Amino acid sequence: MNISSEGHRRQLHELTDAILGGRHLTAPGSEGKRAVELICAVYESARTGTSIHFL
């Protein structure tokens, strides 16, 4: 299976442009944090066999 690194390349390019250009990112860090919290909840649910309430 060939997995492209294009998505990561674009993300790093946008981050670099935002830092150098003094602008905000398209997706703020808070959205990334929320995505990680959701993924952790999925793993916790699978590990425990219980429902995880995610608000």
Report pTM: 0.61
Instruction: Assess if residue 49 is contained within a domain.
Output: yes
Residue 16 C-alpha from the chain's centroid: 17
Instruction: Assess if residue 20 is contained within a domain.
Output: no
**Distance (Å, whole) CA 51 – CA 46:** 9
Domain of residue 43: give its range: 27-55
Per the structure, the count of domains in the chain is: 1
Question: What pLDDT score was predicted for residue 20?
Answer: 97
Instruction: Assess if residue 48 is contained within a domain.
Output: yes
Question: Are the CB atoms for 18 and 28 separated by under 8 Å?
Answer: no
Instruction: Assess if residue 31 is contained within a domain.
Output: yes
Question: What pLDDT score was predicted for residue 10?
Answer: 92
E strand map for the chain: none
Question: What pLDDT score was predicted for residue 40?
Answer: 95
Question: Are the CB atoms for 54 and 37 separated by under 8 Å?
Answer: yes
Question: What pLDDT score was predicted for residue 1?
Answer: 78
Instruction: Assess if residue 17 is contained within a domain.
Output: no
Question: Are the CB atoms for 25 and 18 separated by under 8 Å?
Answer: yes
Average confidence (pLDDT) per 10 residues, the chain, 55 residues? 88 94 90 94 96 85
Question: What pLDDT score was predicted for residue 29?
Answer: 87
